[in-house]
Chain A
């Protein structure tokens, strides 16, 4: 991101130095150029987001206490009534007061970046806070991370507007807040930064990276100040005794990939159908989802309610049998589908982690049952399973690896995680071409850029359009007469001229003939060239770089990076356009 010229910083006019502290307004403005100010603002965004996420956590806990009770064994009446009545209240709030609070919040943040110039109404944060806290606290199968991300983005957007940032900065401010919110919710700043870069922004630039990191770190500091630095779950000892165990992890990757496809497929099928139902049914959809989740809980699986971190912890420490873990994974998919497709506000990160952990521990347990010689620890499998679902369902492969590393704090798990995640990602991509966030975007009628498609799209390079050098390359020292003699039988009109070993020019045959006939036949070719030499390109450069020059120069030399004097080919505007046309048709 380049530096903004001062003339654009009219929005910072309100920032005044305290009287007597700075001597000149210019000095103050020079110090607080918008890019520097943006970094400082990122810290404040982190602080406010951290505080908001802490309050959000309190709100979830309080609503759980008052709606579900204080113990771990819940009464059937509360199990049925709490999620369904809360669902009714949530539906009224979402329909009448906070329509943008629906869903997870990741896509809304992306939409702010790509469509609304960073604008997210502040009431969305309030709505998300209240409705998601009610939903998660009452036992809907959703998590607090995505809402925290959206709350952070809303706060950042509000601050940016208040500070009257430029449009360019405003666009970037939502992801900065999103990173802060997610980092505080996850207690994992690296994963939050990676997720925002990988899924929301989609590119690495020094300017945005600095702001995202600053906001994420400051929000985590605030969160830890109030809630402590304990990880979300107690991490068991992680070990990979034999490389052959990687096969077992690969199997986990395959199972996780298939589960991700089922989960995403469920959302793809059910969400549009629920949305297509008559409008009045939307008042009851969250309540019905809550009632069904209550029934699942009452029938013996209360673990599916809420975010379920305490049960992930128990699964990691081998408290459940592998059969029950598999059932829990299936029921959690069902419960999350019910909650999410009914439009209840809440996130999918925690359910994804839950399903992954249960599935991982179940696969580990089953493999140990079938192959007792494998020294399988359920905790390691649960950890790897979380990464697998992240890679397969959310389709954020890099975040999935770093998330497991950051949560476990153990680098020996990296190989199993990479192996399993790769299988899950490849299977999920093969069977469900559209990533879940892109799917939701399109279901909502938006066309936001798909980060996955961007990552994997083919990029054209100069070498794809360049042509071999045809016709003679003239030396600038040649006389016009010698040059014309060399061109005697040549049909080419545009000719490259080598000025020095790494400097080039272009002349036309017509120009040579005209000057020679004007009596300058002994003058050298170099005298016809303008002062500005032709830029050169390298074969590996993106083709769009050539676009910057081809309209000004009829022919551009393409030279080797190892030897600038070595001509690899030439490229013209016609070559570039032809290649793009072929690419579009292909």
Chain B
């Protein structure tokens, strides 16, 4: 009897196996059909329809990796981050080294302000496996990671990622320019300049790279180079007002600097007198409201007194006669500009140029 029972069980098992094959085949075909529709909808940015299609596909293969991943992406398209995240976490549990899943999870975490999680997933996306275009995808993930790190002011981490990105950037001028931008945002203008120049190697008329190089050179106080690059950038794109502004300042610095070489003594003295007058005007303009409205103007009044005392001596004749007077005058000019910059905000025009000249010669003074 037991043998008969066992034989019956085996027979039933075989019948159910046959049924199961038919059932699975039907489900697979239905799943594939709905998935194809979903992909078409997703490609057409009809995320709502795509979500419905992928959900229908998942009815027939609930754990299908591709279906879940596409549903998650469609949900992200619909801004349903919570549910998308649930699907992605499920996929992550199954394949924690999937670059795309890590990248999507990182994006969601970043949008939800879960920055530590986002950084962890971005690292996964940078180091894990991608089914195709691995280098490109990893680079994309790294770029997003750097964006996040810079947004979080984690510049040291951002710089180390940037150096890794730079090493794999190849001859892609756009990427080189982007790396330059990132270095600039991280305050690493040396590396930024190198990256912009690398971008300019393959495309000398890349106006964004020229503007970036000019900006980096400006920040590095290499005003001749800044002038050169910014001139080229504004020539290519006259609408670039920021570069034009920078160029104007760089030119002013170069014109107003009495310490620059290869100028005559007369010209140097003229520049000192001009700088002295400019500083006096700044002092006057800045002192009036400050003294009236806010604080006791003791430092300003000291500077005013100093300036007034020195003013009679700042003549072409005295400057020629007393070479030390140039330094005294410029020293006072620099102190006035620094002090006024602190009290009245960042200056512009000639005052800004004088402030930058002050910084340029800080070591010397």
Contacts and interface: CB of A to CB of B under 8 A. Distances in A.
A73 interface: yes
Contact of B16 (A16, A51, A228): A51
Give the bracket for the number of chain B residues in contact with chain A. 20 to 34
Contact of B62 (A15, A72, A73, A230): A230
Contact of A55 (B19, B33, B63, B86): B19
Contacts of B83: 314, 317-319
Given A14-B1, A61-B23, A317 B12 contact: no
Interface string A53-79: 011001001100100001111000000
B194 interface: no
Contact of A71 (B2, B26, B56): B56
B293 interface: no
Contacts of A73: 52, 56
Given A18-B3, A44-B5, A55-B16, A230 B86 contact: no
Contacts, number: 72
Given A15-B2, A18-B3, A51 B12 contact: yes
Contacts of A40: 2
Given A51-B12, A310-B59, A163 B3 contact: no
Contacts of A314: 83
Given A51-B12, A71-B53, 9 more contacts: A18-B3, A41-B5, A58-B19, A61-B23, A222-B13, A226-B20, A230-B62, A310-B55, A319-B80
A236 interface: yes
Interface string A472-516: 000000000000000000000000000000000000000000000
B20 A71 contact: no
Contacts of A41: 5
A318 B5 contact: no
B286 to A, nearest CB: 48
A274 to B, nearest CB: 33
Contact of B20 (A14, A54, A72): A54
Contacts of B33: 70
Given A47-B9, A55-B19, A318 B52 contact: no
A237 B117 CA distance: 15
B90 interface: yes
Among B13, B27, B82, which residue has the most Cβ atoms of chain A within 10 A? B13
A129 interface: no
Contacts of A15: 1-2
B332 interface: no
B30 interface: yes
A234 interface: yes
B189 interface: no
A38 interface: no
B34 interface: yes
A236 B53 CA distance: 23
A72 B12 contact: no
A62 B19 CA distance: 12
Contacts of B2: 15, 40
A349 interface: no
Nearest to B6: A44
A72 B31 CA distance: 12
Contacts of B86: 234, 236, 317-318, 379
Contacts of B17: 226
B12 A48 contact: yes
Of the listed residues B16, B20, B30, B87, the one surrounded by the most CB atoms of chain A closer than 10 A to its CB is B16
Nearest to B24: A226
A226 B17 CA distance: 8
Contacts of B16: 51, 54-55, 226
Nearest to A58: B23
Contacts of B53: 71
Contacts of A222: 13
6 contacts: A44-B9, A47-B9, A48-B12, A55-B16, A62-B23, A71-B56
Contacts of B26: 65
A177 B14 CA distance: 21
Contacts of B55: 72, 310
